[in-house]
Amino acid sequence: MSPSIRTQLGMLVIATSLVQLANGFFGTFVSLRVAMESFEVPGLVLSAYFAGFTLGAFRCSRIIERIGHIRAYAAFSGLVAAAVALMPLLIGSLAWVILRAIVGFGCAGIFVTTESWLTAKALPSERGRVFSIYMVGTFLALALGQLLIARTDIKTAASFNVIVALFAVALIMVTAARAEPPRVGGAAAVLPYGVLARAAPIAVMGCALSGLVGGAFYALVPAWMQDQGTPRATIALFMLVAVLGGFAFQIPVGRLSDRLDRGVVLAFLSLGFAGTAFVMVLLPRSLPTILPAAVLLGGFMSTLYPVCVAHAHDRMPADRVVAVSGRLILVSGLGSVLGPLIGASLMARFEIDGVFYFMAAAALLLALVAGFGSLMTQPPTHLEVPFKILTPQAGPLAHDPLDPLDGPSQLNDPG
């Protein structure tokens, strides 16, 4: 990879990390603010983000193909900034449902644009490392976003202004840089339904199950801890440690997935997550024992999605990079919606142990599918990138899970 391309990708990762910093803060902030406002339908307000996110993952690929990566990034960032700026001016259940859905739509567009751009620029032999760096920035930003909660007054409009400013800075970084975004032809980039599932079934199932376990973990575990009377500082520490575990695992797993079959790596990660989830049920509920397990749980969980993304792109033509990224984010988003719903019903009957057993079972299923799939299929032949690269120039301007227990939530959308 040339130094110029490395610089461009670095700028894109930093900009999107700012977006994730805003998201990490925004997810928890909105949960607290919704409780303070005493809305009639708080659950609907919280889940509206994922409704918009799912719609965005479904539709934004065509927008990117029509106007290009730079202008699409600018449009989606501007859309999110405008919606967030309106929230303190239009305080009400219906208005916030609509605005939260718009924010979800815009964030899905930003992530599809980013991931397809990274995939298009990275060589197949470096794709795992590129995505690991991207995920490192994501998890570090999400962790910092949680720390902002303790330093802001959620009753004022200042928190909304901070989020708008972060999205604006990300927009400026991407659109003002001398970048070489990929030009993807619309006709060639079409991805009929079923093609991706047939070409990369392990990746599709992996993204779905990754969203399933991630959504259940981030929505239900802190809610259960709060319901047990756990101090908020302890809950924040547990979630921060889990996020930092994800941060620590990214680069080693990325490098490993570039050297070994990604399906085999995915199987071992899934087994590691399942084993840790089972251990969480047996461990005494004290910080000295729970925190190390949280590191492993967050580490294994956070690396499932990026390995699946790299695995899928290895098996698809490079001219479908945008469509593939959009479909994988869509599948992960749907899993993130279902995870808290299924987990909440299990938790009502079996307490938090039911949630951990549920996550472990999903991870074991993925391990079996990935393991047997790798044994039965041959490694793919990496395809050359068939689209052209634009001349360097200044770019022109044109993943909160539903938390029925009203506990603190954290956004999870690697994709």
Distance CA 354, CA 347 (A): 5
State residue 128's pLDDT score: 67
Domain count, the chain: 1
Residue 284 counted as domain residue: yes
Closest CA to 135 of 337, 3, 326, 307: 307
Residue 85 counted as domain residue: yes
State residue 272's pLDDT score: 95
* Residue with the two structure tokens 């990274």: 118
Closest CA to 213 of 28, 365, 413, 360: 360
For residue 353, the surrounding DSSP H or E stretch is helix 321-376
State residue 150's pLDDT score: 64
Distance CA 295, CA 368 (A): 24
- Coil, helix or strand at residue 187: coil
Residue 399 counted as domain residue: no
Residue 407 counted as domain residue: no
20: its two tokens: 């994730």
The residues with which 182 forms a beta bridge, in sequence order, are: 389
* Residue with the two structure tokens 């960032």: 77
208: its two tokens: 């779905």
Closest CA to 186 of 47, 37, 66: 66
State residue 49's pLDDT score: 81
Residue 213 counted as domain residue: yes
104: its two tokens: 């979800």
Residue 408 counted as domain residue: no
State residue 195's pLDDT score: 82
State residue 404's pLDDT score: 37
State residue 86's pLDDT score: 92
Pairing of strands 178-179, 393-394: antiparallel
DSSP conformation class of 409: -
Residue 187 counted as domain residue: no
Return averaged pLDDT per consecutive 10 residues of the chain, 415 residues in all: 63 78 77 71 71 80 81 87 90 86 88 77 68 73 72 77 84 70 52 78 91 83 74 76 83 84 92 93 83 92 88 79 76 81 83 92 93 71 34 28 36 37
The CATH number of residue 137's host domain is 1.20.1250.20
Q: What is the number of helices (H) and of strands (E) in the chain?
A: 12, 2
124, 382 contact by CB (below 8 A)? yes
Distance CA 91, CA 94 (A): 9
61, 184 contact by CB (below 8 A)? no
State residue 102's pLDDT score: 92
State residue 6's pLDDT score: 64
The domain in which residue 300 lies consists of 3-182+192-377+388-394
Q: pTM score, two decimals?
A: 0.67
Q: For residue 301, what are the CA distances in angstroms to 21, 56, 249? A: 19, 24, 10
Instruction: Tell me which amino acid residue 57 is.
Output: A
State residue 377's pLDDT score: 66
Q: How many residues does the chain have?
A: 415
Residue 304 counted as domain residue: yes
